Amino acid sequence: MSITNLTEKRMFFLILLLITLSVFMDRGHQTGINKTLGWFWDASNWIYWFSYFNWIVLIGYGFLALRRYKSNKYFSGMHLVLILSSFLIYELFYFSVNWIVIINTCMIIIFIINFIISVLAKRMY
């Protein structure tokens, strides 16, 4: 099975694998209520909303898999690279908000373009 075949036909399973990997590799970064003040909510919590986008992406690629549509191999490859780089920046370099926001915004745009192209092209496998 080649990389082209994986990115065109099996993106749902690749995204599911990456989400599962990120859940198990999570180091539990410090977020939550500040115990000293008792009311302050950590400002880094908004970054977790980007992780919910991965579930939307999973549902989107699941829709394409159910309809048996091929996704664009270039956009799918870029999407996988961006997901891996976002995961590595967050987990290995602990926390770089600017890079995570930039990468996740690019992921959103690339997913939307890939989804629209796949649905309009209706290339079935």
Is residue 19 situated within a structural domain?
A: yes
Is residue 21 situated within a structural domain?
A: yes
Is residue 32 situated within a structural domain?
A: no
Contact 69, 124 (CB under 8 A): yes
Average pLDDT over residues 8-20: 83
pTM of the model: 0.73
**Which one, of 6, 116, 21, 2, lies nearest residue 64 by Cα?**
116
Contact 8, 77 (CB under 8 A): no
**Both tokens assigned to 124:** 């079935």
Residue 17's domain comprises: 3-26+47-121
Of residues 114 and 94, which shows the higher confidence score? 114
- Taking the C-alpha atoms of residue 84 and residue 96, their distance in angstroms, rounded to an integer, is 15
- Taking the C-alpha atoms of residue 64 and residue 58, their distance in angstroms, rounded to an integer, is 10
Residue 112 confidence (pLDDT): 93
Task: Name every residue whose Cβ is closer than 8 Å to that of residue 67 and which is 6 or more positions away in sequence.
Answer: 119, 124
Number of structural domains, the chain?
Answer: 1
Residue 24 confidence (pLDDT): 74
- Taking the C-alpha atoms of residue 98 and residue 113, their distance in angstroms, rounded to an integer, is 23
**pLDDT over 60 (residue 27):** no
Residue 33 confidence (pLDDT): 53
What would the pLDDT profile of 32-49 be if each residue is shown by its tens digit?
555 565 555 555 555 666
Average pLDDT over residues 92-109: 78
Range from 1-10, 53-62, 93-102 carrying the lowest mean pLDDT: 93-102
Residue 29 confidence (pLDDT): 53
Is residue 40 situated within a structural domain?
A: no
Residue 110 confidence (pLDDT): 93
Is residue 38 situated within a structural domain?
A: no
What would the pLDDT profile of 67-100 be if each residue is shown by its tens digit?
898 898 899 989 888 888 877 777 666 666 777 7
- Taking the C-alpha atoms of residue 125 and residue 120, their distance in angstroms, rounded to an integer, is 15
Is residue 35 situated within a structural domain?
A: no
